[in-house]
A = this chain, B = another copy of it.
Amino acid sequence: MLRSQPQKLLRRCFSSSAASLAGHTGSVESRAVVFSEHGDPTRVLRAHRYRLPKLDKGQVRLRFELGSINPADINVIQGVYPSKPAVRDDIGPEPVSIMGNEGVATVEGFEEDGTVEQKLEVGDRVVMGAPQLGTWQSHANMPFTSLIPLPASSPLSLRQAATLAINPPTAWRMLSDFVPLNPEDPNALTKQGGKKQWVIQNGANSAVGVAVIQLAKAWGVGTINLVRSRPSIDELKSHLESLGADHVLTYDEFLSRENNTRSKIKEWIGKDGEMRLALNCVGGKETAEMCKLLSLDGKLVTYGGMAKTALALPPSLFIFRKLTSTGFWLSNWVQTHPEERQTMMQSLAALVSSGKLKEPETEVVELKGTDEEVTQQLSEVMKKMEEGRGKKTLLHWKDE
């Protein structure tokens, strides 16, 4: 099995000729999490082995360090997500799809095409620049054009890198593209002399939510954060506040008339502030309540629907308060903004390196043993995913 080698030693060793790597590739076996039919995530996933073919021009040989599991992956497996992994008929007796949208990998080699050797070195770390490439596997050949190299100058931990490509960019775009809150934007409302800007969000402890809290803090934007109540609510509130949350409320506190929370929130914002943006990954009645707190011409941006119900929004908010309700999906955005994405990823990596953007809490699951054993492990991981919302799970294939 081809192993990772020290970066300095390997640097460019394959860049002038891929022959030496090509010699190896015939023998590299990848272990992958696949499904052949959509269905119950605890039942349809299984471990699968396949041999990697020779690299084509411009392709990169990757060794995956961590493959991230996001809530949307459940929907991908169920077949109810609009973006699907490719159906591969070249890696086994029956067509299968390799799971995994997010992850971090190390470059083990590549086949020159006039570009890749300018941009990449062996030993570099990369994250995914295209959706559903299959990150829940140990090794893969992928086109360089689908990858985002991480800056070697500000090295991230593997956990930081594995959680960088989906949720923080989603937070960044939602704070930038609907109401201009990014101070680098020439029209930024956060510029000196403007009103202090506020954002309200539900599901504030989600991976996107904590990125919103920290980016907003870094950009001088206040946040009002709604979370579900739980036995350890005080701990959660302290945690979010330590990340920079200005205010954290449970949905019950938020909706309670006794607490007079609406007046309190208006006081927090004050006359020198305004709130034009609400971020929603839940749905349900508190979404409309969030919108009622927005100033005229407010924007509601939906990026998830954890409550699995339709958004219920009174017509009067649209007609008289000029509310706009829209949605955000990173996969749509990246298709039309490839270069802007590269720049944003470098900025996000720098924020992570500087400690201003902490990754969400993660837990690494080591996949090991026979295919049957790994298949059993996957079923347990999926069961846990469906039950609750613990730490974000990262898959790692243990070397055999």
A binding-site residues for B, Cβ under 8 Å = 82, 280, 283, 288, 302-305, 310-329, 332
Contact = CB atoms under 8 A, between A and B. Distances in A.
Contacts of A315: 280, 283, 302, 304-305, 310-311, 327
Residue picked from A82, A314, A321, A327, most chain B C-beta under 10 Å: A327
Nearest to A307: B315
A317 B328 CA distance: 10
Contacts of A323: 326-327
Contact of A329 (B313, B320, B325): B320
Contact of A325 (B82, B313, B316, B320): B313
Given A315-B304, A318-B302, A310 B327 contact: no
Nearest to A81: B320
A317 B313 contact: no
Residue in A302, A319, A320 with the greatest tally of chain B CB atoms within 10 Å: A319
A319 B328 contact: yes
A173 B212 CA distance: 36
A320 B324 contact: no
Nearest to A316: B305
Given A311-B314, A322-B332, 17 more contacts: A82-B320, A302-B318, A305-B314, A305-B319, A310-B312, A310-B313, A310-B315, A311-B311, A311-B312, A312-B312, A315-B327, A318-B325, A319-B328, A320-B329, A322-B327, A322-B329, A325-B326
Contact of A327 (B283, B303, B319): B319
11 contacts: A283-B315, A302-B318, A302-B319, A310-B312, A310-B314, A310-B315, A311-B312, A312-B312, A317-B327, A319-B328, A325-B326
Nearest to A301: B318
Given A313-B325, A325-B313, A304 B332 contact: no
A170 B117 CA distance: 58
A311 B314 CA distance: 6
B327 A320 contact: yes
A319 B329 contact: yes
A327 B315 CA distance: 8
Nearest to A327: B318
Contact of A288 (B283, B303, B310, B332): B310
B325 A325 contact: yes
Nearest to A324: B326
A288 B325 CA distance: 14
Contacts of A283: 315
